[in-house]
A and B are shown apart, each in its own frame.
Chain A
Amino acid sequence: MKFTENRRAFLSVALAASLSLALAAPALAKDTVKVGFIGPLSGGVSNMGLGGRNSAALAVALRNQDPNAKYEYELEALDDECKPNVGVQVATKMATNRKVVGAVTHYCSAVAMGTVDIYHKFNMPMIVWAAVLPDITYGNEYPEVHRVNGTMINQNETAAEFMTSQGYKTWAIIHDTTDYGKGHNKYFSQFLTEKGGEILGTFGVTSDQQDFTAELTKIKELNPDVVYFGGLTPIAVRIRQQMDKLGIEAQFQGVSGIKSDAYFAGLSGDLAEGTVTFLEGAPAAKLPGGEYFLAEYEKAGFGEDYEAYGPFSFAAMSLLLDAIEEVGPDRKAVTEYLADVKEHDSITGPVTFDEHGQNTVALITKYVAQDGQWVVWEDSEYAGGTRKLTGK
């Protein structure tokens, strides 16, 4: 009897030992952790989304090459088509997938406004990489929601100050009627009036409108110095084109949403020339970690450009991966870690989240369209005086 008992004890010990060995073996090969990316991968602003996706993928790939990384990361990229209804679907799909620990999401503000509730509901930490509407972070108390790029508040303040200092007096404002366009209209109008500019007329347009001749004819009648457009590239292209058709001689001023190479691809001739726009942060090459980012992006050989917000996407994804490395692949722990991010090193400069998860970057760069590309204002021939903005 005693023998059998001993044997049973021996067997169970052996079993336990082999079991623990079997469990330990895969741990040596690193656990796989899923992280997400959501942006517009198709549709009119897809070049922005693809640039952001590539940059996020680059951050993941670089981390996977790092021998000190504790986990093997896998990126799940979904397409929100810049449409709120599609965005809500893909955000739900990602948030309900428990394997996805956190995500870097959204270029379009209208989409982000619809999806933040979902991330909150499923406790999934997320970092916005490009959408600029202040309400995404400031309009709620969700601990899951963060943003590495600035908001349109800073952008429009700089824009109003710069344009009035150029000597422009009167504006006509066109904005799309999404949250994004309305936000731009609100903040730009506010800062412009403070700085002494006069708004002659404000026109809301739908985000898929084709014909702007009626609005533009009215603007022609108002005869402003500047036509301001708050919205995205496809409509900016149409408006700029139709301004020319109607013979409107005014300076065209855009927002961060038109700082894209597609603006030049969509405009024939030299219509793009002289358009001004504003963007948070600095051009990739001038960022603290810009050279590193550019070199690695080049090396990775993506088909598309990283576009205006690629560096932010890279920084957001790197921050998310840092969090997971630190506290492990647990949504709640990552959220807690992100609540406390102060002076965190990133290629866009140190990231500090305020109580709403908003990064406090105040740097805004001014751009002007010169010879088919966006040139930083200070480096352009316009600032140098060789070329002049319309009406100057």
Chain B
Amino acid sequence: MDIGLLGQYLANGVMLGTMYALVAVGFTLFFGVLDVIKFSHGDVLMLGSFTGFTVYIGVLAMGIENPWLMIAVILLVSIAATAAVGALIARYLVLPLKSAPPLNILLITLMLGTAIREAVRLFYPDGSNPKNFPALLPTASVDLGGFALRADSVILVGAGIAVIIGLNLLINRTRLGLAIRAVAQDEETAKIMGINYTMIVLVTFAIGSGAAAFAGIMNGLYYNEVNFGMGLLLGLIGFSAAIIGGLGNIYGAILGGFLFAGLQTVGAVALPFASAYKDVFAFGVVIALMAWKPTGLIAERSSDRV
């Protein structure tokens, strides 16, 4: 195999890894502050990309032609709307059940995810069919010896990694991040220190859902297609990535996302039998990793979540 193709595989893997990591970060944030697993995360992502698609039709109707302006508007509206949905879910479904067994929250969010998915399928115009998401980014490509490096892929990966770094800085370097970490560590003490607990939980859910919306738009721009079922597998993969990385640890989520993408790529490339088994291979390795390190690769320090 020559260098160019190796580069192509690497580029594919990095692209997938960035998307998975963005989803996994959401799972890890929610688990960090509230110790809950929010299974509707993948479907919230899908909602984000459908919001983006709707905004696109809207701005097109308004006569805005500049693709950069379009992307800016799409991202802004979609992230804001999805963040609001995330906060609403936290306020009305997750917080009221905080003292109930964690299984209840897991179930209620699982059902919410199904409700969101089916609602989009049934009520979005022609929602059961895949939608042709516009290719707004420049499609110029450089051929590097059998490896077509495309401008849009580079921009998407760059933006995705920037968002991950931004989230990391937000958690570790800002006052808001300090408050989130305080709540994650000890809810009671954080309240005594004057932190508005409910507000912090809502903001955390908004941030996680906003990141999911970003991943959804990224997914749409990359594959030029969105469909009502896209969140199902992405949610599952994001969750697995968060688990193998170490649920509750933001670096773990990023590591898990890239690791899972790497496994899928290796599964499709290196296995001698048909590539149909690449997901079987990737999830199989995840099972093995979990048996080996039940707390994830980067274990959550009990005193320091997120």
Give residues in A with beta carbon < 8 Å to B.
Answer: 42-44, 46-47, 177, 202-206, 208, 210-211, 213-215, 217-218, 220-221, 234, 237-238, 241-242, 245-247, 262, 265-269
Please report the C-alpha to C-alpha distance between residue A157 and residue B57 in the assembled complex, in whole angstroms.
43
Residues of chain A with a CB closer than 8 A to B279's CB: 206
**Interchain Cβ contacts under 8 Å between A and B, 23 examples:** A42-B128, A46-B129, A47-B129, A177-B274, A210-B219, A210-B233, A211-B223, A213-B15, A214-B9, A214-B264, A214-B275, A214-B278, A217-B269, A218-B275, A220-B146, A234-B130, A237-B225, A242-B223, A247-B141, A247-B143, A266-B130, A268-B134, A268-B224
By the criterion CB–CB under 8 Å, are B223 and A238 in contact? yes
Q: Is the CB–CB distance between A210 and B8 below 8 Å?
A: no
A205 proximity list for chain B (CB < 8 A): 275-276
**Which residues of A have CB within 8 Å of B150?**
245
Chain A residues with CB under 8 Å of B195's CB are: none
Give me the interface of B with A, judged by CB distance under 8 Å.
1, 5, 8-9, 12, 15-16, 121, 128-130, 132, 134-135, 141, 143, 146, 148, 150, 153, 219, 223-225, 227, 229-230, 233, 264-265, 267-269, 274-276, 278-279
Residue of B nearest to A269 (CB): B135
In contact, A262 and B5 (Cβ under 8 angstroms): no
Is A203's CB under 8 angstroms from B274's CB?
yes
Q: With the chains together, A304 CA to B275 CA distance in Å?
A: 37
Q: Which residues of A contact B278 (CB under 8 A)?
A: 214
Q: How far is the CB of A116 from chain B (nearest CB, A)?
A: 25
Partner of B269, one of A46, A208, A218, A265: A218
- Nearest chain B CB to A22 CB, angstrom units: 46
B150, B223, B275 pick with most chain A CB within 10 angstroms: B275
Measured between alpha carbons, how far is A210 from B236 in the docked complex, in Å? 14
- Of B8, B225, B276, the residue contacting A206 (CB under 8 A) is B276
B128 to chain A: closest residue by CB:
A42
* A192 vs B278: C-alpha distance when bound (angstroms): 27
Closest Cβ of chain A: how far from B81's Cβ, in Å? Answer: 23
Contact B223–A44 (Cβ < 8 Å): no
CA distance A321 to B90 in the complex (A): 56
Complex CA distance for A218 and B278, rounded to whole angstroms: 14
Q: Which residues of A contact B268 (CB under 8 A)?
A: 214-215, 218
B153: A residues at CB distance < 8 A: 245
CA separation between A247 and B275, bound complex, in Å?
21
Task: Give the top 5 A-B pairs by smallest Cβ distance, nearest first.
Answer: A214-B268, A204-B276, A247-B148, A213-B12, A204-B274
Given A203-B274, A215-B268, 13 more A-B residue pairs with CB atoms under 8 Å apart are A203-B275, A204-B275, A210-B219, A211-B223, A213-B16, A214-B278, A220-B8, A221-B5, A241-B223, A241-B225, A242-B223, A247-B141, A268-B135
Bound-complex Cα distance A117 to B3 (A) = 52
Complex contact A238–B225 (CB within 8 A): yes
Residue numbers in A under 8 Å from B8 (CB-CB): 217, 220, 246
Residues of A within 8 A of B227 (CB): 44, 234
Q: Please determine whether B9 and A217 come into contact, CB atoms closer than 8 angstroms.
A: yes
Provide the bound-state CA to CA distance between A133 and B129, in Å.
24
Identify which of A42, A246, A262, A266 contacts B148 (C-beta below 8 A).
A246
In Å, the complex CA distance between A202 and B275 comes to 9
In the bound assembly, the distance between CA atoms of A217 and B270 in angstroms comes to 12
Task: Tell me, in angstroms, the Cα distance from A269 to B5 when the chains sit together.
Answer: 27
For A206, list chain B residues within 8 Å (CB). Answer: 276, 279
By the criterion CB–CB under 8 Å, are A214 and B12 in contact? yes
How far is it, in angstroms, between the C-alpha of A206 and the C-alpha of B278 when the chains are bound? Answer: 10
The reply to whether B129 and A262 form a contact with Cβ atoms under 8 Å apart is yes
Shortest Cβ distance from residue A309 to the other chain B in the assembled complex, whole angstroms: 17
Q: Which residues of A contact B225 (CB under 8 A)?
A: 237-238, 241, 266
* Closest-CB distance, A242 to chain B (whole angstroms): 7
Residue numbers in A under 8 Å from B224 (CB-CB): 241, 268
How far is A241 from B223 in the complex, measured between Cα atoms in Å?
7
Q: Report the minimum CB–CB distance from A176 to chain B (whole Å).
A: 9
